[in-house]
Amino acid sequence: MNKHKVGIVGWRGMVGSVLIKRMIEEKDFEKFSTFFFSTSQAGEDCPFRFSESNKLLDANNLDDLKKMDIILTCQGSDFTEKVYPKLRDHSWQGHWIDAASFLRMNQDSVIILDPINRDLIDKKLETGNKTWVGGNCTVSLMLLAINGLIKENIVEWVSSMTYQAASGAGANNMRELLKQMGYLHQSVSELLEDKNGSILEIDQTITNTFQDQSFPKENFLVPLAGSLIPWIDGDLGGGLSKEEWKGHNETLKILDHHYDPIKVDGLCVRIGTMRCHSQALTIKLNQNLSEDDILDKISNGNEWVKVISNNRDETIQNLSPAKVSGKLDILVGRVRKLKLDENILSIFTIGDQLLWGAAEPLRRILSIITAK
């Protein structure tokens, strides 16, 4: 049987690099014929020995792209907006797999999150769907964390308060966060050497340093190191950010009415961590369950959920971005029923948004398609 021809675009970026690493780990490249495309370095040597071509192909060349059975892109929305309609207009009938948000809410696209919506994916494959899009990172991580509750159809609403890492904004933002940290440390390095010095003087110096004209903030526009940014993505008006809008709307599309509609709303905040998004979830259930029952359902949601006991030592040692960075685990802790209502509970969950929030759903849908 002839192997599928898979063209990969945007493999150098952060999500693309994580994706390639995962595909190598899982020996995915043995299952299909792979061609690597570039928007800027076409014709140069391809760095991967498992590529069918020793040269990089031109990602702007429709004729080359049309030869692919599957195109997987992590190149971003601008590339998708430019290339995808032209390919479809030229009668290309292949599968398009995309990390960018541009096509997420299109009627003919599926937001992919296997195993959460594997039934939907299989149904859409059978009916000829060819457009597959990765979802918002925090939405995907949230649904994985509470999958055990969703499967029981007992979730009425979720209030999500997100604490999102710098990497969610891109590689340049990660570098800028580190530059900000270094700039702040340099401003007080001599004061820190004096063990008897005033911490208030150090604090005031940091505050003043935030105002320096040369303080690195080209990407974030404001300080993130030693601070936070309580707004992510565009302004939709009415005090709603686009990132917050995604919570409800993408959840509905991912679940596709398989369960009773779940209302999702909250606030999205950028914090000074490098990688992994955290979320404080307040969840209203439609029935009164014991904490033991709730923990049991969460634990059985999927194989990646790791429940952390709700006590001080376990929480501070094991429930943090540092513990899950680079891993597929979805940490779930601080689970307890709140005094607000017998059906309301709290959860604090953390996951690597570059894996489950970006690369892993793309890898899994590619495996599903090429296995057919």
Q: pLDDT tier at 258 (50, 70, 90 boundaries)?
A: low
CATH number at residue 28: 3.40.50.720
Between these two residues, 257 and 322, which has the higher pLDDT value?
322
Note whether 73 and 175 are same-domain residues.
no
- Pick the catalytic residue from 4, 95, 248, 277: 277
Note whether 220 and 257 are same-domain residues.
no
Note whether 144 and 288 are same-domain residues.
yes
Give the pairing type, strands 109-112 and 131-134.
parallel
Residue 1 has pLDDT above 80, yes or no: no
Kindly report, residue by residue over 62-99, the tens digit of the pLDDT. Answer: 999 999 999 999 999 999 999 999 999 999 999 999 99
Between these two residues, 293 and 257, which has the higher pLDDT value?
293
Contacts of 140 (CB under 8 A, 6+ apart): 113, 116, 134, 254, 353, 356, 357, 361
**Nearest residue to 332 (alpha-carbon basis) of 305, 364, 304:** 305
In this structure, are residues 114 and 364 in contact, taking their beta carbons and an 8 Å threshold?
yes
Note whether 118 and 146 are same-domain residues.
no
Note whether 124 and 54 are same-domain residues.
yes
Note whether 161 and 302 are same-domain residues.
yes
137 catalytic, yes or no? yes
Name the residue range of residue 318's domain: 140-165+230-357
Look up residue 353 and give its two tokens.
């948004």
Amino acid found at 364:
R
Note whether 220 and 323 are same-domain residues.
no
Note whether 150 and 251 are same-domain residues.
yes
Region for 309 from its dihedrals, namely left if φ exceeds 0, alpha if ψ lies in -120 to 50, beta otherwise? beta
CA 323 → CA 134, 162, 188, 351, 354, distances in Å?
24, 18, 29, 9, 15
Note whether 329 and 210 are same-domain residues.
no
- What pLDDT is recorded for position 2? 81
- Pick the catalytic residue from 4, 46, 74, 137: 137
Kindly report, residue by residue over 320-371, the tens digit of the pLDDT. Answer: 999 999 999 999 999 999 999 999 999 999 999 999 999 999 999 999 999 9
Note whether 247 and 328 are same-domain residues.
yes
Kindly report, residue by residue over 119-166, the tens digit of the pLDDT. Answer: 999 999 999 999 999 999 999 999 999 999 999 999 999 999 999 999
In this structure, are residues 371 and 365 in contact, taking their beta carbons and an 8 Å threshold?
no
Note whether 146 and 270 are same-domain residues.
yes
Residues 156 and 342: their CA atoms lie apart, in Å, by: 13
Note whether 202 and 295 are same-domain residues.
no
- What pLDDT is recorded for position 46? 95
- What pLDDT is recorded for position 260? 76
Direct distance between the N- and C-terminal alpha carbons of the chain, in angstroms, rounded to an integer: 11
Kindly report, residue by residue over 14-43, the tens digit of the pLDDT. Answer: 999 999 999 999 999 999 999 999 999 999
Which among 228, 254, 275 is the end of a domain? Answer: 228
- What pLDDT is recorded for position 261? 84
Domains identified in the chain, total number: 3
Kindly report, residue by residue over 221-255, the tens digit of the pLDDT. Answer: 999 999 999 999 999 999 999 999 999 999 999 99
276 catalytic, yes or no? no
